[in-house]
């Protein structure tokens, strides 16, 4: 199985577990950067409901390998040692995370990246599934980002199954896009149902109406989580296409 952006030489990178401050809380994260001296933009990598697992660490290293100081913050840090490989526990963690808290933590992650040696000050964010939703939320609620990539962020039109809003998610994210604060690339799978191609088109229409800088792309022969090579949803051709598109997008706005 071929992997888009696969890192061949781990010695070319410096990768480590880190913590950073968000308000009064310590947030855990995984940081990776090029070993070579230089100036690099920052990139936040937001995990799926399964937390900062080995796949997310690997994706973080892939971005470091092409010239980013990349950080995967654990937005579930306050939960302690919860087994997030359990789908139901992961969903519970996601649905119980208040949107306001997620934005604060992601702003803290952006600030942490901007303090790193050699940081250019530019910071982007990419997220997958749950992380895609949080990335779109972040880009709409904060001015701390220079570019955002939402990869099939689910539950953008409603808060949870059967619930349009909840206390933790008081406004559907798709209704916030008129406030988008940075260029956005939103990636969807043609065979996905959450988010569906219809939601992709609604997002496109709302962004066009608001006059935002954006790109919405629906990938063919791909469903949900088609970049997740550790899951049966992985689609190699679409994953390579997405990787090229993401690098081009970030190259345009974070260079």
| Mean pLDDT score across all residues of the chain | 97
Per-residue pLDDT tens over the stretch 25-57: 999 999 999 999 999 999 999 999 999 999 999
Task: Note whether 177 and 206 are within 8 A (CB).
Answer: yes
Ordered by where they begin, the domains of the chain are 10-254 (3.40.50.1820)
Q: How much is the pLDDT for 82?
A: 79
Per-residue pLDDT tens over the stretch 148-196: 999 999 999 999 999 999 999 999 999 999 999 999 999 999 999 999 9
Q: How much is the pLDDT for 108?
A: 98
Per-residue pLDDT tens over the stretch 72-115: 999 999 998 878 888 999 999 999 999 999 999 999 999 999 99
Task: Note whether 131 and 43 are within 8 A (CB).
Answer: no
Q: How much is the pLDDT for 199?
A: 98
Q: How much is the pLDDT for 26?
A: 97
Q: Which residue(s) pair with 128 in the sheet? A: 151
Per-residue pLDDT tens over the stretch 208-222: 999 999 999 999 999
> What is the C-alpha separation between 45 and 74, in angstroms, rounded?
10
DSSP 61-74: HHHHHTT-EEEEE-
Q: Which of 196, 101, 190 shows the shortest CA–CA distance to 153?
A: 196
User: What residues are annotated to the active site?
Assistant: 129, 192, 224
């Amino acid at each position: 199985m071929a992997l888009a952006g696969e890192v061949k030489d781990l010695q070319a990178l410096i990768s480590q577990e880190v913590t950073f401050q968000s308000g009064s809380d310590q947030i855990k994260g995984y940081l990776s950067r090029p070993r070579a001296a230089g100036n690099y933009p920052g990139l936040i990598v937001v995990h799926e409901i399964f937390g900062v697992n080995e796949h997310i660490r690997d994706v973080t290293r892939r971005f470091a390998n092409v010239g980013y100081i990349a950080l995967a913050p654990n937005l579930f840090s306050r939960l302690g040692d919860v087994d997030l490989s359990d789908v139901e526990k992961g969903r519970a963690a996601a649905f119980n995370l208040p949107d306001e808290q997620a934005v604060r933590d992601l702003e803290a992650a952006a600030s942490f990246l901007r303090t790193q040696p050699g940081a250019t000050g530019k910071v982007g964010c990419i997220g997958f599934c749950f992380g895609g939703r949080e990335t779109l939320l972040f880009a709409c609620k904060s001015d701390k980002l220079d570019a955002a990539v939402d990869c099939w962020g689910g539950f953008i039109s409603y808060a949870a199954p059967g619930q349009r809003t909840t206390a933790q998610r008081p406004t559907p994210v798709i209704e916030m896009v008129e406030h988008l604060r940075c260029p956005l690339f939103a990636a969807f799978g043609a065979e996905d149902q959450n988010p569906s191609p219809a939601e992709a088109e609604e997002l496109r229409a709302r962004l066009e109406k608001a006059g935002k800088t954006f790109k919405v792309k629906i990938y063919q022969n791909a469903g949900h989580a088609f970049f997740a090579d550790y899951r049966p949803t992985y689609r190699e051709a679409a994953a390579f296409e997405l990787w090229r598109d993401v690098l081009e997008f970030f190259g345009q706005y974070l260079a």
